[in-house]
Structures are given as C-alpha cells and as structure tokens.
Amino acid sequence: MDQDRAPESVWAAAPEPAKRRLRLFRRDPEAQTLWQSEFEQRDLGEPLGVWATDETVALVRFDRVAAYAPATGEPGWTWQPPGQDVIVGVAQDPEDGLGVVLHHDDGDRNAEHVRLTALHLGSGDVAWSREQRKDQLGYIGEHRTSEVGVSGGRIATVLAWDRDKPPTVRCLDARTGALQWERALPDSWGDSFSVLATDPPVLAVANSGRRSRPRLYVVREDSEWYVELPDGYKDFGPAVAVVGDTFVVGLEPSEPTDDGEKSADTLLHAYSVPTGERLWEWRTDHGRTLHPLSHRGYFMVGNGYGSRVTVLDPADGRVVAERRFPGFSYRARYAAWGDHLAVVCHAVSETRRVRVFRWK
C-alpha cells in the first residue's frame, strides 16, 4: 500500500524511567498494551484476517466478522454472511473505510456464483454486495481460498485448470467484476498457487517434484519475474509488503536435520518490483516466520510469535526502531493504524486471539 513517508521521529521510543536507564542490561523498548480479547474457551476457528482503523478493529472468521472498539476492546458490531454461506476470502487491507469479504455456500457444489460484500467498518452496515461467477475466479473451496486474493479494489486470481496451457493470472475490479487484465505465466511449472498480494499480484508457487524448489512470482500486465527459494529454507511468506517500488518477503528456514545442527537465520529479502533485482536482506533469530506490512512509508516486520516488531527503511533495510510486545501468539499476523498495532494469533486452539498495543 502506497503511503506518504512519515519522519523517523514517529518511531522514536518514549523516554525510559530513570530506574530503567540505570539497569546494567537494558532491553529493547516495550510497546504499551492497550487491551486483549477474552480468552477463548473453545476453538472458534482460525482467523481469516484482521482490519484495523481509527473506528474499528475487526476480526474475520469463516462464519462472522466481529468488531472491537480500537481504544478499549469493547465488543461492537457483528456481521454474518447470509444463509449457509461461509467466508473464504478477505481483503488484506480496508480501503475507504470498507472491508471486503468473499463468501459462498460451501455445501452447494453446483452453485455457479460466489458473492463479494463490502462492510462499513465503523458500523458493520453493508455498503455493497454483488454476485461473481465462480468460474472466473479459479478454484473456490470449502476453506480459505488461497488462489484468490482481494485487496486495494482488485481481485487477483490464478486459473490453472488446463494442463496443456500455462496458468493465467487474472485481475478484476472488485466492485464491478470488470476484467482489468490477464497474463499467462511463461510455462506450466507449478502444482499449487497462493496469491499473497494483488497490486502487483504476487504468487507463491510450489511443484510436486521432490527436488523442485518453491518459486515466488511477481506479475504485472506486461511482464513477470520470479525467484526460487534457496537451499536451507522451506517456504516463502506467509505475507508480503510493498513500499513504492520495493517489495519484501520473508524466508522461513528449514528444520535442522541433526540434533546439533543450527538452522539458517530467518530472512527478509527486498526486491525491485519492476525488475526483480534483489536490493537488500535483513536477518533475525527472533522466530522462524515473518509478517511484513507497510505503514507510514516504512516496512514493519513482526515475528511469528507476536513478541517483536522491527521497523525497516525501505531504501536499504536499515533498522529504524524496534519494540517488544508482551504476550505470545502463534503464527502471528499484524495490522497497523496510526500509532497502534493489532496482533492476531492464528493458533487452532484456545487462546487470547487479539492483542492491541500503542507503539509509544
């Protein structure tokens, strides 16, 4: 998401109390906890996404969207898809105060349409809702639909039904369904596809070959490029972020094969969107997965435990600021607004699902 670049002073830590400044071993500044959701006594399902604005923090699950007051965590509005529909896709970022979900009746295998619905985040009211032919979006399954991405007013999808033809990336206008453009990939390599971003479309692609390495494609209307996962790493993602013409993605290291072996560092690689040139890399040993997002013209990179966030300069990967976050999440995802950050736990278990912090 393109944003005006804020001055670096917005990330500065608040002055430490005198007693803390005198400690022999000082730790990284700690973000202020504002609230956390109630402990879930049973498994309510893995979250599909989170939206955060000055008006609402909204958590999306397969059967509902539940809103909280950003400052206090007080429960707000709830929206449920109509009939027997379940939510299988979520816009990555709200746009113009609207959050968009993709839903359908997963029990009706003969259904020819799915539906997109946009919700006003301040009230939960439906801003618009429309049908979309299912066959225009590729595979729509019972659970989260990885081959379809929604964000920034665009739907990006991968059509890979015909084994005799290379997969095609298709972009549609989310509001109207009008075709924006489509482009075939250069070959038929790949058996599974996940859309990680829509502007530009970013695809994580895997092949069933035992020695094949996953690829990451960045596709535009007139070109595409890809990088291959290096040895010692098991996967890309699970999220990407773009600031200007710089694109970043995390690399998750493989598990050590021997007890005494140390795994590779977790990496964040930065690339040029137009050319695919690798610009810089950032290393960390705080967790195996990274969740980058763009905010205030910088990259914010959270670890998979929900315990640390680092702000990086998109020009060179320089560390601008860092915070510790009290508590723990599993496969944490993040959403930022203003001086606040929401951390969402994706554990399929009982947990405190949402924690909200102030940066300083």
Residues 6+ apart with CB under 8 A from 242: 1, 2, 197, 199, 200, 248, 273, 294
- Residue 21 parent element (H or E): helix 18-21
The first and second tokens of residue 53, run together, are 């604005």
Rg (CA), the chain: 20
- Per-residue model confidence (pLDDT) at position 154: 96
- Domains along the chain with CATH numbers: 48-140 (2.40.10.480), 146-224 (2.40.10), 229-360 (2.40.128.630)
pLDDT band at 343 (very low <50, low <70, confident <90, very high): very high
Mean pLDDT, rounded, for 328-352: 86
pLDDT over 90, % of the chain: 66
pLDDT at 319 over 60: yes
- Per-residue model confidence (pLDDT) at position 143: 65
Q: 56-90: string of b/e by CB count within 10 Å (b at 16+)?
A: bbbbbbbeebbbbebeebeebbebebeeebbbbbb
pLDDT over 70, % of the chain: 91
pLDDT at 308 over 70: yes
Bigger pLDDT: 162 vs 217: 217
pLDDT at 144 over 80: no
297 CB-contact burial (10 Å; exposed 0-12 / middle 13-18 / buried 19+):
middle
pLDDT at 145 over 90: no
Bigger pLDDT: 108 vs 116: 116
Q: How many CA atoms lie within 13 A of 178 on its CB side?
A: 4
Per-residue three-class SS string for 154-219: EEEEEECCCCCCCCEEEEEECCCCCEEEEEECCCCCCCEEEEEEECCEEEEEECCCCCCCCEEEEE
Mean pLDDT, rounded, for 199-203: 95
Mean pLDDT, rounded, for 106-112: 86
Q: Look up the pTM and report it.
A: 0.89
- Per-residue model confidence (pLDDT) at position 292: 97
Taking only the tens place, the pLDDT of each residue in 255-303 is: 877 666 677 889 999 999 999 999 999 999 888 899 999 999 999 999 9
